[in-house]
């Protein structure tokens, strides 16, 4: 799908990069990527999406072409809600469809709890792994997200230089991609700093982002209020980023599906990046869901 435009907005801490596709007069759709990714993660899926919608993607802070949050303290997962808020205020959309992968889904659920009725449809792409960490019973484990960061402060706040080949190899190895796919992933994340010398724009603090930590019932309460029609696509061969929280995340989504008749969980073959590696496995379901009319909840 042809790019309409690329631009930046000014947030309190720096610039946020945006990119749009489709019909600027069409139904608004916001695309929010996951941790250590960028808006480029949606490119393969967009090729299979209806061109009459207006799609806007963003690079979250410390990802892609967006500035990182100020150096110093650990970057929490929840703080990204502030970036999302800034982008939506800039766009001025009264309501919109929200398509997000992994941590982007987590951010969207919190945003909806703060600003109900703006998101008219959720399409969540493999959200369970991102939500495995939202309740950590062992408080020493929870504190380690902060303690490990400060113990290795210099490592998390320093850069690394790669050749183009080394950067591609690192992405291919980490995410099971071929060279062409790795090129797409790096298209918004690779900065040339010399002759075959590159740095990655990902903020290294993203590797250790402290989660929120509340009882599961609390998340159910805030995520189940005025829940919009939701299509939650779960990869059968996904990653377990925090295995101890796997059952909690699964139960949370199962309970949401049980409560809301328009909340649908769909399990598809593939891994955590199935939307990028095999978009044809989900595009038909996504397009059908986007076109479907739903009655507004009265709750």
List of the chain residues with pLDDT < 50: 299
Q: What's residue 202's pLDDT?
A: 92
3-state SS string over the chain?
A: CCEEEEEEEECCCCEEEEEEEECCCCCEEEEECCCCCCHHHHHHHHCCCCCCCEEEEECCCCCCCCCCCCCCCCCCCCCHHHHHHHHHHHHCCCCEEEEEECHHHHHHHHHHHHCCCCEEEEEEECCHHHHHHCCCCCHHHHHHHHHHHHHCHHHHCCCCEECHHHHHHHHHHHHCCCHHHHHHHHCCCEEEEECCEEEECCCHHHHHCCCCCCCHHHHHHHHCCCCCCEEEEEECCCCCCCHHHHHHHHHHHHHHHHHCCCEEEEEECCCCCHHHHCHHHCHHHHHHHHHCCCCCCCC
CATH class of 3-136+213-291: alpha beta
- Contacts for 230 with CB less than 8 Å, ≥ 6 apart: 121, 122, 123, 124, 256, 260, 262, 263, 264
Which tokens in the block code for residue 146?
A: 């902060």
Q: What is the pLDDT of residue 159?
A: 82
Instruction: Give 30: exposed, middle or buried? Use CB within 10 Å, 0-12, 13-18, 19+.
Output: buried
pLDDT in tens, 180-209: 999 999 999 999 999 999 999 999 999 999
Give the pLDDT of residue 209.
96
pLDDT in tens, 46-88: 999 999 999 999 999 999 999 999 999 999 999 999 999 999 9
Which pLDDT does position 295 carry in this prediction? 78
Structural domain spans, the chain: 3-136+213-291
| Sheet of 96-101, strands arranged across | 3-10, 15-22, 54-58, 28-32, 96-101, 119-125, 230-235, 263-268
pLDDT at 52: 96
Q: What is the dihedral of CA 124, 128, 134, 137, to 10 degrees?
A: 170
d(CA 81, CA 62): 14
pLDDT at position 297 is: 55
Q: What is the pTM of this model?
A: 0.96
**Whole-angstrom distance, CA of residue 242 vs CA of residue 210:** 12
């Amino acid at each position: 799908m042809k790019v309409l435009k690329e631009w930046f907005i000014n947030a309190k801490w720096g610039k946020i990069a945006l990119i749009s596709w489709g019909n600027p007069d069409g139904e608004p759709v916001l695309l929010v990527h996951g941790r250590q990714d960028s808006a480029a993660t949606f490119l393969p899926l967009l090729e299979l999406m209806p061109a009459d919608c207006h799609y806007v993607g963003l690079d979250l802070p410390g990802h892609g072409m967006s500035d990182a949050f100020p150096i110093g303290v650990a970057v929490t997962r929840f703080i990204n809600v502030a970036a999302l808020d800034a982008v939506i205020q800039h766009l001025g959309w009264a309501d919109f469809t929200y398509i997000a992968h992994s941590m982007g889904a987590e951010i969207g659920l919190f945003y909806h709890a703060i600003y109900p009725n703006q998101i008219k449809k959720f399409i969540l792409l493999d959200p369970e792994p991102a939500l495995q960490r939202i309740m950590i019973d062992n408080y020493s484990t929870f504190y380690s997200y902060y303690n490990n960061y400060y113990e290795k402060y210099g490592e998390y706040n320093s850069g690394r230089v790669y050749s183009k080949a080394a950067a591609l190899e690192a992405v291919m190895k980490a995410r099971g991609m071929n060279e062409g796919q790795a090129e797409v992933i790096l298209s918004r994340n690779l900065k040339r700093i010399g002759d075959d010398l590159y740095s990655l724009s990902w903020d290294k603090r993203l590797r250790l982002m402290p989660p929120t930590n509340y009882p599961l019932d609390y998340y159910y309460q805030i995520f189940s209020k005025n829940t919009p029609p939701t299509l939650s696509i779960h990869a059968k061969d996904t990653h377990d980023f925090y295995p101890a929280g796997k059952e909690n995340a699964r139960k949370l989504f199962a309970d949401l599906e049980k409560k809301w008749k328009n909340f649908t969980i769909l399990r598809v073959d593939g891994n955590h990046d199935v939307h990028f590696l095999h978009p044809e496995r989900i595009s038909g379901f996504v397009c059908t869901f986007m076109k479907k009319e739903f009655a507004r909840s009265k709750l």
